[in-house]
Amino acid sequence: MRILPAEWEPQGFIQLTWPHEDTDWSYILEEVTACYVRIATEISKRERLLIVCKNAQQVRQRLEGSAELQNIRFVETDTNDTWARDHGGITVVDTEDRFFRDEVCNFDDPFKPVSPICECESHYKVLDFCFNGWGLKFASNKDNRITRELFQSDLFDADYENHLNFVLEGGSIESDGAGTILTTSECLLSDNRNEQFTKEEIENYLKKALGAKRILWLNHGYLAGDDTDSHIDTLARLCDYDTIAYVRCEDPTDEHYNELRAMEKELREFETENGERYRLLALPMADKIEIDGERLPATYANFLIMNNAILMPTYGSAKDQEAMAVLQEAFPDREIVGCDCVPLIRQHGSLHCITMQYPFELK
């Protein structure tokens, strides 16, 4: 049996891919590096961190005095950009039944009926899908090699599985760890990804590759300035088996109003595997941020779930606190930590987009 773990399940480490002067961050490199330092610091306080970078010594020096360096591993390689969520490997768990026993002796009460026991062994597999710069919008030849290079570095305590014939970005799918995948038709059915396949063929591929039982497709919802063709992690997020946090727009004059209302209606019609309606928690639509007349894709849905905390993007708005309160309701046992992500949205992404979690430990 194969399953794609939910992000809220136990994690072994998180990957960041660090910005450098040859990436699109060059014109604001100092500003975005400071943002990465803050995020790396918050992660390394709580979990192990893998940093993929061009110059490990420079990054290490930048992190000294703030991050927990003993929790960080560095791997040097050249990169096009920094969006680890989309060029990073996607980890599944394969479980093999080792043996099955119909009866087990209960020594405390030998006359009590017993339940069958299945003893299993699980194996992690990192699936390496093709990353093509969100439908050939940007160069991705170096980023598309990163997962293979990490395996060549012998860091991963997992097996490698090649899926480079299929384009899939981590930000385009959400999993509940029990066979449900939430995604958007705008992204997965877009041009220059897998247009040679029908929707049914794509759905069957995802079910086989990720062990999914069902796919929930959102047909509405977008953010202005988004290069990803409506990644699900910018719009709606699974928080547990029956809870979805999503972006709601309350302003009828906002360009997103109609599409996000239509998305909300779709979410209200979705049912859990048990046939119940999802508990929906509405995140506020982030205040408009524009640079040179271009609206940037600020969203509170782009948060990172960690073992004991939620890292949430903030944008210097009063709505930051409102969004943090919503996420505290969704994750009552986790600390909600805000990180200023205004620099990140200048390149049309946010906090979740630059991270990728892995459920196994680094070697």
What is the pLDDT, as a whole number, of residue 105? 34
Phi, psi for residue 74 in degrees, rounded to 5? -115, 140
Predicted confidence at residue 95, as pLDDT, reads 87
Mark the ranges of the chain whose per-residue pLDDT is less than 70. 96-121
CA atoms of 129 and 86, how far apart (whole Å):
9
Is 20:55 a contact under the CB 8 Å cutoff? yes
Say what the pLDDT of residue 120 is. Answer: 57
Query: Which DSSP symbol is given to 14?
Result: E
Rounded distance, CA 316 to CA 294, Å? 18
Q: Quote the Cα angle for 23-59-15, to 5°.
A: 75
**What is the rounded distance in angstroms from the CA atom of residue 302 to the CA atom of residue 194?**
24
Q: Which residues contact 109 (CB under 8 A, 6 or more apart)?
A: none
150, 219, 276, 305 from 213: Cα distances, Å: 30, 20, 17, 23
Do residues 47 and 307 lie in contact, with contact meaning Cβ atoms separated by under 8 Å? Answer: yes
Q: Kindly list the structural domains of the chain, giving each domain's residue range(s) and its CATH number in brackets, ordered by start.
A: 2-101+120-358 (3.75.10.10)
Alpha-carbon distances, residue 288 vs 161, 254, 293 (angstroms): 41, 9, 11
d(CA 363, CA 154): 8
Q: In which region does residue 42 sit, left (phi positive, over 0), alpha (psi from -120 to 50) or beta (all else)? A: alpha
Helix %, strand %, coil % of the chain (to 5): 30, 30, 40
* pTM, 2 dp: 0.93
Length of the chain: 363
What pLDDT score does 116 carry?
A: 42
Tokens of 307: 């073992």
Q: What's the confidence (pLDDT) of residue 122?
A: 72
The DSSP H or E segment spanning 274 is: none
The C-alpha atoms of residue 246 and residue 335 are separated, in whole angstroms, by 19
